[in-house]
Amino acid sequence: MYTLSVGLYEHFFAKHDYYIVIVGLDNAGKTTFLEQIKAKFIRDYGVLRPSKITSTVGLNVGKVEVGQVRLNFWDLGGQEDLRTLWNTYYSVASALIFVIDGTRRELFDTVSSCFYDVMKSEFIQQIPVLVAVNKSELDGAATASEIRTLLSDDEHRSDLAVLPVSALEGHNIDRCVRWLVRSLQQADQKLQL
């Protein structure tokens, strides 16, 4: 009877943990994006002022709960010499967020090459990938459809979404998190079948 009670409790009340890696070129807005996620999903969270956010050397972490889901974020530094470390996180990742500065068109070739390198990982091929086109509120920023064309990847075998966001203003942050939760839960359901 005890085992049944514990099983029922865990089924209805236990949080399911997922691990999400956030990558992208340096100064794309990854840390600001993560700060907005924490601000929107953690009650009374004291968000960092954007002027206090500097380039990430190593990683920043965050944890939010959405219903029965706990999302654990790893925001990894985007400097060229740090990108070689990204793949050490892929094997334990449940999903990946690739943040792009939509206003820095001069870097789109580098972005495309970097995205292609990330997508070559056999681990990334199996998990949901969200491309967040940051600074979408600014004039001249690339649209989500432009970025989708730039990052064409016909071989990805899981969910892939490209969404416009404003990490500074918090625009579409909720939508990104809800997409992640839905995609992760659908992936779990497929595994159970």
In angstroms, the CA 79 to CA 58 distance is 10
15-192 has which fold? Rossmann fold (3.40.50)
56 is in an annotated binding site: yes
Q: How many CB atoms lie within 10 A of CB 168?
A: 16
Residue 122: pLDDT over 90: yes
User: Rounded mean pLDDT of 122-137?
Assistant: 95
pLDDT at residue 130 tops 80: yes
The answer, yes or no, to whether residue 74 has pLDDT greater than 70, is yes
**End-to-end CA gap in the chain:** 28
Whether residue 155 is annotated as binding a ligand: the answer is: no
pLDDT above 80 (res 129):
yes
Residue 117 has pLDDT above 70, yes or no: yes
3-state secondary structure of 138: coil
- Residue 91, marked binder: no
CA 145 to chain centre: 18
Ranges of each domain in the chain: 15-192
- Asked if the model's pLDDT at residue 157 lies above 70, the reply is no
Taking the C-alpha atoms of residue 132 and residue 27, their distance in angstroms, rounded to an integer, is 13
- Measured CA to CA, the distance from residue 51 to residue 85 in angstroms comes to 27
Average confidence (pLDDT) over 56-70: 87
Per-residue pLDDT band for 102 (boundaries 50, 70, 90) equals very high
5 vs 75, more confident: 75
78 assigned to a ligand binding site: yes
The reply, when asked if residue 30 is annotated as ligand binding, is yes
With vertex at residue 63, the alpha carbon angle to CA 60 and CA 68, rounded to the nearest 5 degrees, is 160
Name the percent of the chain in helix, strand, coil, to the closest 5: 40, 25, 35
Above 60 in pLDDT, residue 80?
Answer: yes
Rounded-to-integer distance, Cα 53 and Cα 31, Å:
7
